């Protein structure tokens, strides 16, 4: 059974976490069958792909200089190809995810405990204050939590002054369209201003998947309220001749409006 929207889960952090933990546990295999090659999950050093438009950290450099001495934390790392890529650059990396199923998929590629993978929720980071140079997230956690302002505050807390937070999410304007890569996905059906989450349930009505929507303004306010400085919002354009489709991300839609927003933030010195 599927329905949207569901206003009563708007502030339900524990319920969202429980639903998404079980969703990603059970979806880990199917997710990787479809996307592992694109994400570089099974390559020796991983890969850091920010979004279905194929933006790679190796070319975009959104995180700044990464190398020996850099301490990085990835939120919602899944099977951790991005964490492994950061580790291959010499960084000390912790990858964090709510789903043991997603983390387990990455374990065969972890050598000598590097990167360190931790099962935890993004709203309560098990990391000491001011110890991290870079917090990053590629479509991990932030669209799935009920309290994204708390994630921003947590990221700000663990960052050292001058450190960076960079995260990619569905572009908020996509919320108004059906998740359809074809022509039906070009028709606005939902209010951009309705922050009620999208919830899927099982036959008993128990939530099995929860995705939360915030407007661009909400996201900016969350960042600024956490004491971070917003440096850029990257809206990747669909690359010419790029035919790879990822769920609702398609060349048809990508030619008309953005699918991804990458927020680049800094903690003031």
Ligand X SMILES: C[S@@+](CC[C@H](N)C(=O)[O-])C[C@H]1O[C@@H](n2cnc3c(N)ncnc32)[C@H](O)[C@@H]1O
Strands 159-170 and 260-266: antiparallel
Binding-residue total with ligand X (CB under 6 A): 19
- Closest residue to bound ligand X by CB: 78
Residue in 144, 167, 175, 198 binding ligand X, rule: CB under 6 A: 144
Q: Which residues contact 86 (CB under 8 A, 6 or more apart)?
A: 48, 63, 66, 70, 72, 74, 93, 115, 134, 136
CA distance 101 to 106: 9
Residue in 127, 141, 234, 261 binding ligand X, rule: CB under 6 A: 141
Q: Is the dihedral of CA 44, 50, 55, 56 positive or negative?
A: negative
- The DSSP secondary-structure symbol of 262 reads E
Q: Which stretch binds ligand X (CB under 6 A): 74-82, 124-132, 219-227, 243-251?
A: 74-82
Q: x-or-dash pattern for ligand X, window 118-137, by CB under 6 A?
A: ---xx---------------
The reply to whether 97 sits near ligand X by the rule CB under 6 A is yes
Q: Which residues contact 107 (CB under 8 A, 6 or more apart)?
A: 117
Q: x-or-dash pattern for ligand X, window 184-223, by CB under 6 A?
A: ----------------------------------------
- Residue number, 56 or 160, with CB nearest to ligand X: 56
Strands 198-201 and 207-211: antiparallel
User: What's the min distance (Å) between Cβ of 256 and ligand X?
Assistant: 23
- Tokens 């991005």, residue located: 82
Neighbours of 126 (CB within 10 A): 12
User: What's the min distance (Å) between Cβ of 101 and ligand X?
Assistant: 8
The reply to whether 9 sits near ligand X by the rule CB under 6 A is no
The reply to whether 17 sits near ligand X by the rule CB under 6 A is yes
Residues that bind ligand X (CB under 6 A): 17, 20, 24, 39, 76-78, 97-99, 102, 121-122, 138-141, 144-145
């Amino acid at each position: 059974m599927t329905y949207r929207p569901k206003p009563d889960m708007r502030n339900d952090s524990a319920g969202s976490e429980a639903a998404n933990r079980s969703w990603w546990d059970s979806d880990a295999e199917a997710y990787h069958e479809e996307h592992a090659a694109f994400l570089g999950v099974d390559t020796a050093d991983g890969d850091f792909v920010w979004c279905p438009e194929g933006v790679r950290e190796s070319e975009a450099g959104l995180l700044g200089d990464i190398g020996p001495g850099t301490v990085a934390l990835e939120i919602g790392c899944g099977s951790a190809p991005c964490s492994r890529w950061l580790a291959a650059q010499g960084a000390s990396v912790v990858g964090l995810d709510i789903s043991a199923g997603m983390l387990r998929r990455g374990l065969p590629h972890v050598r000598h405990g590097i990167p360190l993978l931790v099962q935890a929720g993004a709203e309560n980071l098990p990391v000491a204050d001011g110890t991290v140079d870079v917090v990053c997230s590629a479509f991990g956690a932030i669209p799935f939590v009920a309290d994204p302002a708390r994630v921003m505050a947590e990221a700000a807390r663990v960052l050292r002054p001058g450190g960076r937070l960079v995260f990619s999410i569905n572009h908020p304007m996509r919320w108004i369209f059906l998740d359809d890569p074809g022509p039906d996905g070009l028709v606005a059906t939902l209010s951009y201003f309705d922050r009620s989450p999208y919830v899927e349930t099982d036959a008993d009505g128990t939530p099995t998947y929860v995705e939360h929507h915030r407007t661009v303004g909400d996201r900016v306010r969350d960042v600024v309220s956490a004491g971070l400085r917003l440096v850029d919002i990257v809206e990747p354009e669909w690359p010419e001749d790029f035919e790879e489709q990822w769920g609702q991300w398609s060349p048809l839609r990508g030619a008309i409006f953005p699918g991804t927003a990458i927020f680049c933030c800094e903690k003031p010195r």
